[in-house]
A and B are shown apart, each in its own frame.
Chain A
Amino acid sequence: MPIPTPFHPRTSEFCTSLQWKEWAGYYAIRSFDVHFDREYYAFRHAAGMIDVTPLYKYDVRGPDATAYLNRIVVRNIAKLKQNQVAYLCWCDDDGKVIDDGTVTRFEEDYYRVTSTDPDFHWFLRHMRGFDVTVENITDEVAALSVQGPNSRDVLRDVCDADMDKLKFFRTTKTRVDGGIDARISRTGYTGDLGYEIWVKNDDALGLWDALMAAGEPHGLVPAGLDAMDVTRIEAGFILNGIDYFNALHSLIERRKASPYELSLGWAVHLKRDPFIGQEALRHIKKDGPPRLFVGLDIDWPSFERLFAKHGLPPEVHSGGWRTGVPIYDSGGNFIGQATSGAWSPLLKKNLALATVQAEHGHIGNTVHLEVTVEYERKTVPATIVPKPFFDPERMKA
């Protein structure tokens, strides 16, 4: 049975739809209203606030913290400055991705790792020979993510950090509402301007109340996972367990993917001290990845026509979908799968994230996606386009 997060008394009060789901063992809200779109629009035009406590969080401390983490993750975090955050992944010996997440360097010898899967065991397994401690603080630290163009205004009004100086993928200590010690990082999963705020569990409700009060004039709205899922697809972000599978959980090779197959090749720093998977990754890089993770723009006029044949208006999922569908080349051969997608109300485009054989994965190529129209299986052309689909300047500005 899932357990409530420290924000539960507030989230449950606002959740008029009673739409909950399980997220990493916690109760999480799918959408506060019956329709998630008010929350989605808030993320894009004002600000939305989502409880992200269920993310796994591990604190790594000690003189060898840098060397230790560098042994595990694919990216060279020795380059991280204090209060800088890095997005990255970690692999098994075969160079296949276990999980993706962030590493934040709070102090010279103090890091925090976030992950989608419970990977504590993996971090513990590689401690031998390093002078470090690894602590699982998942259940002790609560987190809210405030995302959207007005998120900076909200935080500026409620904390003492200099929000205008806090750059993209940086973090700072701050005091919220004059009394709550918190850390703010300029990160998120929406591909927009946004922040994540971390506090001790005991301060969770105080943080919620302070943010809601400060957020009112800036249009801040509590938001759920359904809204965030559409924004993460617009941003082209992968999701472990949906768009790829943790190598440690995969029974068959086909399900495993290297960072190069997940558009994460940029995060792999090969030329450095040994790290897990390094040798295998060298080879994969040299040979070129067999598959690529791509963005698809599903041709809307063709899609409309399929429905019009039945006299129907086009029907799209309300919100993101994550039931994989096959992709074919123009000859009808299977070349990959779309693993998640959404109608983007903002772009007025029907989007999908997909893995396809490398020779079909170049930008501008047309592939054919299976769709079901009036119970019949059809295909609809889709163009491979650059990710992110939506890339507002304000995210990094």
Chain B
Amino acid sequence: MAAKYDAIVIGGGHNGLVCAAYLAKAGRKTLVLEGRHVLGGAAVTEEVYPGFKYSVFSYVVSLFRPHIIRELNLAQHGLQLIPLECSFTPHLEGPGLVRWSEAARTRREIARLSPRDAEIQPAFSLAMTKMAFLIKNIIDNPVPDPTSLDPRELKRLADFGNHFLKLDADSFHLHSQLLTMSAVDFLSLWFESEILMAPMSVSGIIGTFLGVRSPGTAYVLLHHYMGEIDGAFRSWGFSRGGTGGLSLACARAAESLGAQIRTEAPVSHLRVQNGRTTGVVLENGDEIEARTVFSSLDPNRTFLRLVGEQHLDEEFTNQIKRYKLRGSSGKVNLALDRIPEFTCRPGIGPHLMGDLAIAPNIDYLERAYDQAKYGDFSERPYINAVFPSLVDPSVAPPGKHVMSCFVQYAPYHIKEGPEFWPQRREAFGEAVIDTLEQYAPGLRDCILHKQVLTPWDMEQMVGLSEGNIFQGELSLEQLLFQRPAPGWARYRTPIRDLWMCGSGAHPGGGIMGSPGELAAKYALQTRGV
């Protein structure tokens, strides 16, 4: 049997790596086991086509916690986040809409759509900033356990509640609205222009199998206001070298602190004895002993595959089975000979240096959802695209470019059945390119290479069950006390010495680093490792 470790971290995605770094920093002998040949998981850069570095899955970084950058010295290990300049919504008619980081410029853009909306933005931002204050506390701490009678827990719960009680009446109502309303209804409380609201509302649906008019989608909008209050000061950014650059910086930090990292070491299952784990068994049969195991895989994969139902009670198993994954998005990565011009705003200028949303109006988005509800991918989908090479030339040969397109909806459960996705992949990719061609004719001629990823592919490649990009929907009933299952929101699991540290744990998905950080800190603090 191989060396004994204090902790084995399964999965070398960014959360697993952050978790390992914190464990190693506390002096724990830590080993990371990644199944693939590259580190990063859903935050990975790969040279799929020679000279072009794709951010294969995730493509922009928003919520990565600044204190993790400080505490792990990630900048010195190569992390660089470059803020996005703007958000461009091309239209088939008219000049399109660009929301710039410069407020006055944005105001002039919006005034063309609605002079009233143009000036309401500051009030909206103010309200959202207040709300984001709440979220920050939620994101940066493990959730209190509402069922515990431990006085410390009760105090934490009270503190948690106090944040809400301290809100003035207006904010309290606002918060209730956020919890219950749809993204569109919520935005309609402020704005009148559907054209403006469309690109704003989509942040409520990313990674969920819901539409912009589905109740509960308002909450996720808040995440966009986080950056401004936590020292990031501009929320969305590119990671230099692609999102894998961030993961590699985490890996270098972990290694510099003493953690060991192995790639091409897929874990087959956990060793479980008398309700406690004692290590892992690799697919090649090797057993590695460890005092604790941290899984950064989603709850479904962790419990139903690596642990096995035989070690779990029925109620818990059922909860995990009910945990909603339902992947709904795809990805198309393109290598471009040149960047095509968008008809509504010709030229290759700063408007292409941020992100670009195909979200011309609310009905368009809702129609895209309608098709998906009945088991099809959207023929005219919502697309969020970026040209990272315009800002970070390191990801393409000089003068050439990469284009990264996040696409929704591409439901995992297509009506033929998910295993038929490979047959529909080509058609899906074509639908995306056709859609983009409408706004940027000539795009097709610029393409040197394309990589089309369906939710099925994501499951196969990085083990995201049902291709859910967040290791489980970020819908309200799956957040906070309930992520991944009621009573198990604090990284512990029903298997002793097995901890959860990936996006399937609080506070959830996105390139944040929080689940990894908080799991490690919480386990260390409670002497769990």
Interface residues of A (CB under 8 A from B): 33-35, 37-38, 41, 44-46, 149-150, 153, 217-219, 300-301, 304, 311, 313-314, 316, 343, 345-349, 390-391
**What would 25 A/B residue contacts be, using CB atoms closer than 8 Å?**
A35-B102, A37-B83, A41-B82, A41-B83, A45-B240, A45-B392, A45-B394, A46-B393, A149-B394, A150-B393, A217-B398, A217-B399, A218-B393, A218-B398, A219-B391, A314-B231, A316-B231, A343-B233, A345-B233, A347-B69, A347-B70, A348-B66, A348-B70, A348-B231, A390-B75
Bound together, the chains give a CA A281 to CA B256 distance in angstroms of 40
Q: Which of A219, A348, A391 has the most CB of B within 10 A?
A: A348
- Residues of chain B within 8 A (CB-CB) of A153 are 398
Bound together, the chains give a CA A300 to CA B80 distance in angstroms of 20
Q: Tell me if B147 counts as interface (CB < 8 A to partner A).
A: no
Indicate if the CB atoms of B231 and A34 lie closer than 8 Å.
Answer: no
- Residues of chain A within 8 A (CB-CB) of B398 are 153, 217-218
Selected from B76, B129, B229, B232, the residue in CB contact (under 8 A) with A391 is: B76
- Given known contacts A345-B83, A348-B66, A390-B76, what 19 new A-B pairs fall within 8 Å (CB)? A33-B102, A35-B101, A37-B234, A45-B80, A46-B393, A149-B394, A217-B393, A218-B393, A219-B392, A300-B70, A301-B67, A313-B229, A314-B229, A316-B231, A345-B233, A347-B69, A347-B70, A347-B75, A348-B67
Selected from B70, B102, B232, the residue in CB contact (under 8 A) with A34 is: B102
Instruction: Give the top 3 A-B pairs by smallest Cβ distance, nearest first.
Output: A217-B398, A313-B229, A348-B66
Selected from A33, A218, A313, A348, the residue in CB contact (under 8 A) with B133 is: A313
Bound together, the chains give a CA A38 to CA B67 distance in angstroms of 23
Q: Which of B75, B133, B392 has the most CB of A within 10 A?
A: B75
Q: Interface readout for B224-260 with A: 1 if CB under 8 Å, 0 if not? A: 0000111111100000100000000000000000000
Within 8 A of A (CB), among B97-155: 101-102, 129, 133
Indicate if the CB atoms of A346 and B75 lie closer than 8 Å.
Answer: yes
Bound together, the chains give a CA A301 to CA B228 distance in angstroms of 16
Selected from B230, B234, B393, the residue in CB contact (under 8 A) with A219 is: B393
Q: Tell me if B185 counts as interface (CB < 8 A to partner A).
A: no
What number of residue pairs across chains A and B have CB atoms under 8 A from each other? 66
- Residues of chain B within 8 A (CB-CB) of A45 are 80, 82, 240, 391-392, 394
Q: Tell me if B85 counts as interface (CB < 8 A to partner A).
A: yes
Q: How far is the CB of A307 from chain B (nearest CB, A)?
A: 10
Q: Interface readout for B40-77 with A: 1 if CB under 8 Å, 0 if not? A: 00000000000000000000000000110110000110
Q: How far is the CB of B447 from chain A (nearest CB, A)?
A: 19
Q: How far is the CB of A194 from chain B (nearest CB, A)?
A: 16
Bound together, the chains give a CA A153 to CA B393 distance in angstroms of 11
Q: How far is the CB of A331 from chain B (nearest CB, A)?
A: 28
- Residues of chain B within 8 A (CB-CB) of A349 are 70
Bound together, the chains give a CA A33 to CA B85 distance in angstroms of 11
- Residues of chain B within 8 A (CB-CB) of A390 are 75-76
Q: How far is the CB of A175 from chain B (nearest CB, A)?
A: 21
Q: How far is the CB of B215 from chain A (nearest CB, A)?
A: 29
- Residues of chain B within 8 A (CB-CB) of A316 are 231
Q: Interface readout for B200-237 with A: 1 if CB under 8 Å, 0 if not? A: 00000000000000000000000000001111111000
Bound together, the chains give a CA A145 to CA B291 distance in angstroms of 55
Q: Which of A33, A44, A346 has the most CB of B within 10 A?
A: A346
Indicate if the CB atoms of A346 and B80 lie closer than 8 Å.
Answer: yes
Bound together, the chains give a CA A188 to CA B232 distance in angstroms of 27
- Residues of chain A within 8 A (CB-CB) of B76 are 390-391
Q: How far is the CB of A58 from chain B (nearest CB, A)?
A: 37
Bound together, the chains give a CA A34 to CA B86 distance in angstroms of 14
Within 8 A of A (CB), among B325-347: none
Q: Interface readout for B4-32 with A: 1 if CB under 8 Å, 0 if not? A: 00000000000000000000000000000
- Residues of chain B within 8 A (CB-CB) of A35 are 101-102
- Residues of chain A within 8 A (CB-CB) of B129 are 313
Task: Name the residue of chain A whose CB is nearest to the CB of B397.
Answer: A217
Q: How far is the CB of A318 from chain B (nearest CB, A)?
A: 9
Bound together, the chains give a CA A348 to CA B74 distance in angstroms of 10
- Residues of chain A within 8 A (CB-CB) of B102 are 33-35
Given A300-B70, A348-B66, A46:B392 Cβ within 8 A? yes
Indicate if the CB atoms of B69 and A348 lie closer than 8 Å.
Answer: yes
Bound together, the chains give a CA A46 to CA B240 distance in angstroms of 9
Selected from B69, B80, B85, B399, the residue in CB contact (under 8 A) with A38 is: B85
Bound together, the chains give a CA A348 to CA B233 distance in angstroms of 10
Bound together, the chains give a CA A390 to CA B391 distance in angstroms of 22
Q: How far is the CB of B95 from chain A (nearest CB, A)?
A: 19
Bound together, the chains give a CA A311 to CA B168 distance in angstroms of 12
Q: How far is the CB of A273 from chain B (nearest CB, A)?
A: 41
Bound together, the chains give a CA A385 to CA B101 distance in angstroms of 33
- Residues of chain B within 8 A (CB-CB) of A346 are 75, 80
- Residues of chain B within 8 A (CB-CB) of A311 are 133
- Residues of chain A within 8 A (CB-CB) of B83 are 37, 41, 345
Task: Name the residue of chain B whose CB is nearest to the CB of A390.
Answer: B75
Bound together, the chains give a CA A346 to CA B233 distance in angstroms of 12
Bound together, the chains give a CA A316 to CA B233 distance in angstroms of 10
Bound together, the chains give a CA A347 to CA B101 distance in angstroms of 21
Bound together, the chains give a CA A38 to CA B240 distance in angstroms of 14
Q: Interface readout for B180-203 with A: 1 if CB under 8 Å, 0 if not? A: 000000000000000000000000
